[in-house]
Structure 1
Amino acid sequence: MKLTVLARCLGLLVLASNPAWATDTLRLCHEDNEAYPWILDKQPGLYGTLAKLAEPRLSMHIVVSRLPWKRCLASVGNGSQDGVLGAGYLPERCAIGVYPGKSGCEPNADLRLYIDRFALYRHLEAKLSWDGKRLLGNSRPVAVQPGFVAARLLKDIGVATDETEKDPAQMLRKISVNMNEAAVIQTAIADRLLRETPGLAIYVERMTPVFVEYPAYLMLSHQFVSANPGRAQRVWQAFVETRDSNAYQASKAALGFNEAD
Structure 2
Amino acid sequence: MTCRIFSTLLMSFIFFNTYAVTIKLCYPDNDAPPWQIGNGENIFHPPGLSIDIITAAAKKIKADINIIRVPTNRVFQLLAKGEVDGVFIFSFLPERQESGVYPLLKNGELNHKNRVASLDYHFYKNKKSKLTWDGKTLSNLNSEIGVNRGYAVIDILKKLSIPYEESKGSEILVKKVDSGRLDGLVSQSMTVDLFIRKLKAKNLIKLSPPVISKDYFLVFGKSFYEKNKILCEKFWDSIGNLRDLVIKKNIVKYAN
TM-score w.r.t. length of structure 1: 0.82
Match of 1:49 among 52, 55, 66: 52
Paired residue total: 239
Asked if the contact 2:19–2:231 (Cα under 8 Å) also holds between the matched residues in 1, the reply is no
1:98 CA displacement: 0.7
Note the alpha carbon deviations across 1:230-259, whole angstroms, 9 max, x for none: 2221121122122144x55312345449xx
**Partner residue in 2 for 1:132:** 135
Q: Aligned with 1:115: secondary structure? A: strand
Please tell me the residue identity of whatever aligns with 2:80. G
Is 2:156 the counterpart of 1:153? yes
Please tell me the residue identity of whatever aligns with 2:249. A
**Partner residue in 2 for 1:60:** 63
Is 2:178 the counterpart of 1:176? yes
Sequence identity (%):
24
**Partner residue in 2 for 1:226:** 226
Asked if the contact 2:125–2:205 (Cα under 8 Å) also holds between the matched residues in 1, the reply is yes
Asked if the contact 2:194–2:255 (Cα under 8 Å) also holds between the matched residues in 1, the reply is no
Asked if the contact 2:157–2:164 (Cα under 8 Å) also holds between the matched residues in 1, the reply is yes
Asked if the contact 1:141–1:159 (Cα under 8 Å) also holds between the matched residues in 2, the reply is yes
- Matches for 1:1-261 after TM superposition, within 5 Å: 20-21=17-18, 23-40=20-37, 41-102=44-105, 106-163=109-166, 165-198=167-200, 200-201=201-202, 203-245=203-245, 247-256=246-255
> RMSD value over aligned CA atoms?
2.5
1:140 CA displacement: 2.4
**Partner residue in 2 for 1:8:** none
* Structure 1 runs not aligned, ≥5 long: 1-13
Structure 1 stretches of 4+ with a deviation exceeding 3 A read 18-23, 102-106, 253-257
Note the alpha carbon deviations across 1:137-194, whole angstroms, 9 max, x for none: 113221111111111111111112211x112111111122322111112111111121
Q: CA 1:241–1:231 in structure 2 vs 1: closer, same or farther (change >3 Å)?
A: same
Instruction: Report the Cα distance in structure 2 between the residues aligned to 1:84 and 1:26, rounded to whole angstroms.
Output: 11
Instruction: Report the Cα distance in structure 2 between the residues aligned to 1:24 and 1:170, rounded to whole angstroms.
Output: 39
Instruction: Report the Cα distance in structure 1 between the residues aligned to 2:185 and 2:148, rounded to whole angstroms.
Output: 9
Asked if the contact 2:53–2:116 (Cα under 8 Å) also holds between the matched residues in 1, the reply is no
Q: CA 1:178–1:229 in structure 2 vs 1: closer, same or farther (change >3 Å)?
A: same
Instruction: Report the Cα distance in structure 2 between the residues aligned to 1:132 and 1:20, rounded to whole angstroms.
Output: 50
* Structure 2 runs not aligned, ≥5 long: 1-12, 38-43
Q: CA 1:19–1:140 in structure 2 vs 1: closer, same or farther (change >3 Å)?
A: farther
Instruction: Report the Cα distance in structure 2 between the residues aligned to 1:100 and 1:58, rounded to whole angstroms.
Output: 17
1:211 CA displacement: 1.7
Q: CA 1:169–1:56 in structure 2 vs 1: closer, same or farther (change >3 Å)?
A: closer
Q: CA 1:29–1:190 in structure 2 vs 1: closer, same or farther (change >3 Å)?
A: same
Tell which deviates more after alignment, 113-122 or 97-106. Answer: 97-106
Q: CA 1:97–1:49 in structure 2 vs 1: closer, same or farther (change >3 Å)?
A: same
Asked if the contact 1:19–1:227 (Cα under 8 Å) also holds between the matched residues in 2, the reply is no
Note the alpha carbon deviations across 1:55-98, whole angstroms, 9 max, x for none: 23222211222221121122122221111122111112111301
Instruction: Report the Cα distance in structure 1 between the residues aligned to 2:161 and 2:107, rounded to whole angstroms.
Output: 29
Q: Aligned with 2:209: secondary structure? A: coil
Q: Aligned with 1:209: secondary structure? A: strand
Instruction: Report the Cα distance in structure 2 between the residues aligned to 1:210 and 1:59, rounded to whole angstroms.
Output: 38
Q: CA 1:133–1:20 in structure 2 vs 1: closer, same or farther (change >3 Å)?
A: farther
Asked if the contact 2:121–2:187 (Cα under 8 Å) also holds between the matched residues in 1, the reply is yes
Instruction: Report the Cα distance in structure 1 between the residues aligned to 2:133 and 2:224, rounded to whole angstroms.
Output: 42
